[in-house]
Amino acid sequence: MIARLRRAYRGMRLGTRMALGLGALSLVVFAVVGTALTTYMRDYLSAQLDTQLAQAQIAQSKSIADYGTLSGKKYYSWFYAVYDVSDGKTELRRPEDPADLPKDVDDFTSLARAQTAAHTELLRTEHLRGAGSYRLRACQVEPGVVLVSAAPLEDIEDTVGQLITIQVVTFALALLALVVFGRRMLRRGLKPLSDMASTAHGIASHDLTESAARLPLRADGRDGGPEVDELRTAFNTMLEHIDDSLAVRAEAEQRLRRFVADASHELRTPLMSVRGYADLFQYAAANAPEERDRHLARLRAEAARMGILLDDLLLLARLDAAEVEEPLRMEDADLVELVSQAADAFRAGRPGHPLTVLTGPGPVRLPMDPLRIRQVVDNLLTNAAVHTPAGTKVSVEVALVPGAAEVRVADTGPGIPPDDRARVFDRFYRVDKARSRDRGGSGLGLAVAQSLVRAHGGSVELNSAPGATVFTVRLPAPGVHPADR
């Protein structure tokens, strides 16, 4: 039974529970107030009756003293009995008519006797057989004469009984109203919370597996007081966070998909060429032997291009997974020397592009992977040569700024259109796809450069205008200060 009640209580809504709790509390308060009120009322009425008894006895005593008899008759079911207690006996003297007394007068007699012994007024409550509860009072009228009066307690009990009935009825009504209206009010107060719960349910049933999924729901409304408002704000902030991270994840997924699609597309081109040249080679081997070597050389060149592409892809993949394995071999190396070597190689390989080198005095030593940084510089220099017309001036500069060393590769070529600037660092992105591919580019050079520099904790920036395109590679250089040089 108790277990069932407990289970039912657990299944109740919070508002109902609180209303019931409030009801129980009020019940206790009502009980205490009711008991106090009833007790006070009963005591007050009893005291009043005692006073009335005393006053009536004074009047009767006067009558007995003056006329030797009781005044009047039985009054409102009051009783008077006069006892003669002289000489050690206790004898009923008045009233003479037994109809004026209850059937059983033992209680009167014993009180008269007790009064004789005590020599003072005595008060007692007795149940008189056939007459009900009575308040008895005994006092001495004159030596040897004791007056016992009895007043019925019935009226007091009736009044108190009525008071209790009224209290029970009004308290029960008040309690009922409290529970019913209290529950309604509490429910209304708690409604924002249940609204929030249904928002959460709505989210739970929302499909988050779709890419680019956003949570369309927010807890709205304004009512509910500051606590509920706080909860609502926290709830919405949490949803915002979830939304953001979902968006980031969806974006990453999208990028990965595009990357895989682009990679396979880019690999297909050289692969097709390899197949074509292999067919041509076969044909030439049988029909035109002098063509054979040319086809073989082209076949090799395509295979090499594919190899470079795969190397770049592999490097990017390893840099992406940098937390798993460290793809860099860090050591203390001189940036100036590294840039000078790259410049020498550039001068030898690209005689059509005059190169200026500005490295400043003295070495700039920083922790880095020299092979990879050389790859970055090579990529930027190659771009400056490949994507600009012949004769374009190229310059490379090593500079120190507070906390970092910079390599700036600049050219006076046509520059990169503003719309493409943000995207040239994307994988496989080429401003002019067709022409760039003719030059052997796959669009991975800048992506690789950026990933490598970021793996070093640095950044690559692009500033481009027609006639002035500058790529700035910034590498953190903890112990190096511009003033040191």
List residues binding Mg ion (CB under 5 A): 383, 445
Q: Looking at residue 197, what DSSP letter applies?
A: H
d(CA 350, CA 384): 10
Which class for 75: exposed (0-12), middle (13-18), buried (19 or more C-beta within 10 A)?
exposed
Q: How far is the CB of 209 from ligand ATP (least distance, A)?
A: 34
- Between 81 and 424, name the residue whose CB sits nearer to Mg ion: 424
270's contact among ligand ATP, Mg ion, none, with CB below 5 to 8 A by partner kind, is none
d(CA 479, CA 477): 6
The answer to whether the beta carbons of residues 409 and 381 sit under 8 Å apart is yes
Q: Looking at residue 402, what DSSP letter applies?
A: T
- Between 406 and 411, name the residue whose CB sits nearer to ligand ATP: 411
- Between 90 and 383, name the residue whose CB sits nearer to Mg ion: 383
- Between 327 and 445, name the residue whose CB sits nearer to Mg ion: 445
236's contact among Mg ion, ligand ATP, none, with CB below 5 to 8 A by partner kind, is none
d(CA 90, CA 112): 7
228's contact among Mg ion, ligand ATP, none, with CB below 5 to 8 A by partner kind, is none
Task: Name the residue number minimizing CB distance to Mg ion.
Answer: 445
d(CA 383, CA 446): 9
Tell me phi and psi for residue 465, to 5 degrees.
-145, 155
Q: Looking at residue 483, what DSSP letter applies?
A: G
- Between 15 and 445, name the residue whose CB sits nearer to ligand ATP: 445
> DSSP labels for 233-274?
HHHHHHHHHHHHHHHHHHHHHHHHHHHHHHHHHHHHHHHHHH
Q: How far is the CB of 262 from Mg ion (least distance, A)?
A: 15
Tell me phi and psi for residue 374, to 5 degrees.
-60, -40
Longest dimension (CA), the chain: 171
With residue 229 as reference, give the H or E element that holds it. Answer: helix 225-287
Distance of CA 481 to the CA centre of its chain: 48
388's contact among ligand ATP, Mg ion, none, with CB below 5 to 8 A by partner kind, is ligand ATP
- Between 101 and 315, name the residue whose CB sits nearer to ligand ATP: 315
- Between 68 and 307, name the residue whose CB sits nearer to ligand ATP: 307
Q: How far is the CB of 393 from Mg ion (least distance, A)?
A: 19
- Between 371 and 422, name the residue whose CB sits nearer to ligand ATP: 422
Q: How far is the CB of 429 from ligand ATP (least distance, A)?
A: 6
Q: How far is the CB of 312 from ligand ATP (least distance, A)?
A: 7
Cα-trace Rg, the chain: 55
Q: How far is the CB of 379 from Mg ion (least distance, A)?
A: 6
d(CA 168, CA 190): 32
Q: Which pair of tokens denotes residue 444?
A: 């991975």
From residue 358, give the alpha-carbon distance in Å to each of 74, 183, 347. Answer: 136, 82, 14
- Between 383 and 464, name the residue whose CB sits nearer to Mg ion: 383
452's contact among Mg ion, ligand ATP, none, with CB below 5 to 8 A by partner kind, is none
Tell me phi and psi for residue 321, to 5 degrees.
-95, 35
- Between 171 and 429, name the residue whose CB sits nearer to ligand ATP: 429
d(CA 277, CA 303): 11
The answer to whether the beta carbons of residues 309 and 443 sit under 8 Å apart is no
Summarize as ranges the residues that interact with ligand ATP (CB under 6 A): 379, 383-384, 386-388, 411, 413, 416, 424, 429-432, 436, 441-447, 469
Q: How far is the CB of 265 from ligand ATP (least distance, A)?
A: 14
Q: Identify which of 382, 367, 359 has the alpha carbon closest to the alpha carbon of residue 446.
A: 382
Q: How far is the CB of 446 from Mg ion (least distance, A)?
A: 6
Q: Which pair of tokens denotes residue 162?
A: 């009525």
Q: How far is the CB of 367 from ligand ATP (least distance, A)?
A: 26
- Between 139 and 385, name the residue whose CB sits nearer to Mg ion: 385
Q: Looking at residue 231, what DSSP letter applies?
A: H
Q: How far is the CB of 472 from ligand ATP (least distance, A)?
A: 13
Q: How far is the CB of 441 from Mg ion (least distance, A)?
A: 5
444's contact among ligand ATP, Mg ion, none, with CB below 5 to 8 A by partner kind, is ligand ATP
| 394 φψ region: left (φ > 0), alpha (ψ -120 to 50), beta (else) | beta
Task: Name the residue number minimizing CB distance to ligand ATP.
Answer: 445
Which class for 473: exposed (0-12), middle (13-18), buried (19 or more C-beta within 10 A)?
buried
d(CA 223, CA 192): 7
